Amino acid sequence: MDILTILLIAIALAVDAFAVAVATGVSLCAVSFRQLFRLSWHFGLFQAGMTILGWAAGLSVRNFTETVAPWLAFFLLAFVGGRMIIEALRSPDEEKSIADPTTGKSLIILSVATSIDALAVGVSFALLKAEVWLPALIIGVVASLLTIIGLRLGCLVGATSKLGARAEIIGGLVLIGIGLNILHQHGIL
């Protein structure tokens, strides 16, 4: 498999991570280096790891990735997005502290949800008898870079728009929308 094909696959896989990073940046309004590193590291690591996991599982995971994985991704994104919306509606005070999605369970849930498609790509690598190590590395690096860009872009949008508490609602709706889009891409909706 040539490098251009791998890069295109990596960019396609990283689109969800980028969108989640933008939503996270908008909702947080300001992102520290630590938050930036955590989210980009985890998104890249999970993208690469799921690719390798899918490759290793090969044909035995094919049915799972085609039927269950889109629903799993949707429910994980809807869960985190719903929590963001509920938190925003619970206290509409503009000065309330926004939950940090770059820590704890939210970080793991978002990392898994945005990397489920990489599992299917890994399976396809196994079916094509393609090597996985270089593609997985490229996929992870691209996901990390697009996450950094997405967080920075989200921060700029959040800071200039003065969305306040509504940013968390918008971020939650974006996550739910990404989950619905995953279902649509897999022909479920």
| Tens-digit pLDDT profile for residues 51-61 | 999 888 875 65
Q: What is the pLDDT of residues 105-163, one digit of tens each?
A: 889 998 998 888 888 788 878 877 788 999 999 999 999 999 999 999 988 876 666 55
Mean pLDDT score, 46-70? 79
Higher pLDDT, 85 or 144: 144
Phi, psi of 92, rounded to the nearest 5 degrees:
-75, 5
In this model, does residue 95 exceed pLDDT 60?
A: no
Count how many domains the chain has: 1
Structural domain harbouring 77: 3-26+33-185
* pLDDT category of residue 164 using cuts at 50, 70 and 90: low
* Those residues with Cβ within 8 angstroms of residue 102's Cβ, 6 or more apart along the chain or in another chain: 24, 28, 31, 35, 38, 39
Distance of alpha carbon 69 from alpha carbon 76, whole angstroms? 11
In this model, does residue 39 exceed pLDDT 90?
A: yes
Report the predicted TM-score, pTM, of the whole model to 2 decimal places. 0.75
pLDDT of residue 62: 59
* pLDDT category of residue 76 using cuts at 50, 70 and 90: confident
Higher pLDDT, 78 or 35: 35
> What is the Cα Rg of the chain in Å?
17
How many CB atoms lie under 10 A from the CB of residue 94? 10
The distance from CA 113 to its chain's CA centroid, rounded to whole angstroms, is 6
